[in-house]
Every structure is written in C-alpha cells, then in structure tokens.
Amino acid sequence: MMTRVCALMRGINVNGIAIKMAELKAAFAEMGYPDAKTLLATGNVVFSIPDGASLEETKSKLEQGLSERFGYEAHLFLRGEKEIEEAIQQADAVEVPKEYHLYWFLCEEEGLPGELLQKYQEMPSSLEGERFWIEGDSAYWIVPKGSTLSSDFGSKVLGAKRYRDKLTSRNLNTVRKISEALKGK
C-alpha cells in the first residue's frame, strides 16, 4: 500500500531560484516517485510513498537530491492528507473578509508557532484587519490581499534566514488544491 503526501518547498521561484515544474516533477520521478504531480509554480508536489516509510528519511533524500540537481539548498515540508485536512478545518472556522488572504504556516520546530505569535504581537503596527493566531500545532495569518510582504510581520518573518529550514507558508486556496490532489481529484 502507498500513502499520498505533499512536499511543500520553501523559496523556489523567488529570489533568483527558478525551477520549472516539469523539471521538478522529473527530479521526483528520478528519485523513485514516478507518480509525482506538481501544483502551481510555488513548489508543491504530491506523490506516493510506501506505507510505513519514514517521512524524515524521505525528506532528507529529497532535499539532498533537489539540492544537488538544482544547485541550491532545498528545504521541504512533508504533510499528509490528515494534516492538510486539519489545517483546512481550522482555517474554515474563521471568517476571512473577501479582500484578505488566509495563510497557513508550516512549522518544523517545536515552539515556533508561539515564537511567531510573540513576534507578531511585538510588531510596531499591523495592517487593518491583519490577524495572527495559533491553533494546535499550526499557525495562521490573515492579511489584506497584496500586503503579504509589505506588512511588518510578513517582511520580517517570511524571508528571514533564521526560518529558512523551519517555516514555510501557503495561502489557503493553495492548501485546498493540495487537498484535492491528495485525494486524486
């Protein structure tokens, strides 16, 4: 039996790291994941691993292979269907105004959601309607459309080197597309 998972890559197709999705799909296939499917151009890859396979070993293998192939330090965040669905359910419990985006933060370090919340609370200003909160092991952020990197929080956190291998984020619309791909839709 096989388990479907998604690799969410950090930092591709921004800051000079350009990877074509066809090349990314081919790289996954060459590393033993022939059913890999890419979603959007932001580095989301849905693929299958054998039941019981170690996510940490899979992640390490993929990061090493992608780093070598594309000449950059690859950072992946692997999540299964259950974690994706849980993130959607938690996000759906909050009303998001039409002119705002909701982001899900994937954190790879214990205590990181709390650290991010503290950083958000310490920011000198926030945009009207901007909000950051923690739900379980996940963190969420509502920000006006078009203001992701111009907000104090977004500009200081999303590109920070300290979080390079510990954090990535996805718009909830992308998370929904990942969910559909994990279900084979």
CATH label of the domain that carries residue 111: 3.30.70
- Pick 13 or 100 by higher pLDDT: 100
Q: Let me know whether 95 and 55 are in one domain.
A: no
**Number of folded domains that form the chain:** 2
Q: What is the pLDDT of residues 70-101, one digit of tens each?
A: 988 899 999 999 999 999 999 999 999 999 99
**82, 103, 120 — which closes off a domain?**
82
Provide the whole-model pTM: 0.91
Q: 45 has which bridge partners? A: 7, 38
CA distances from 78 to 7, 51, 98, 155 (A): 5, 15, 29, 25
**Is the same domain home to 107 and 178?**
yes
